[in-house]
Amino acid sequence: MLWQFFVGRFLQAAAGVGALLTVVDWVRLGGEHVRGGRILLWSAIAGLVAAAVATRNLRARGCAR
């Protein structure tokens, strides 16, 4: 189902971006200054974009829904 693929791709991209931003903040600012809100926001945005692009590509190719 397409919505399951969307959710899976969203979680995959959000986790990857979140991990990257956490490491970057940790290195730049130190452990006590990691900005959780910024990490969550940009992870969610990246996840939505990745999932939307992936599902759009599936629909354009005519894959099973």
Q: In this predicted model, what pLDDT tens digit does every residue of 21-56 receive, in sequence order? A: 999 988 888 878 888 888 999 999 999 999 988 888
Question: Binning pLDDT at 50, 70 and 90, where does residue 14 land?
Answer: very high
Spatial separation of the C-alpha atoms in residues 46 and 41, rounded to whole Å? 9
Give the pLDDT confidence score for residue 63 in this predicted structure. 66
Helices 36-61/2-29 angle, 10° precision: 150
Give the pLDDT confidence score for residue 61 in this predicted structure. 72
Question: Binning pLDDT at 50, 70 and 90, where does residue 20 land?
Answer: very high
Predicted TM-score (pTM) of this structure: 0.76
Spatial separation of the C-alpha atoms in residues 46 and 52, rounded to whole Å? 10
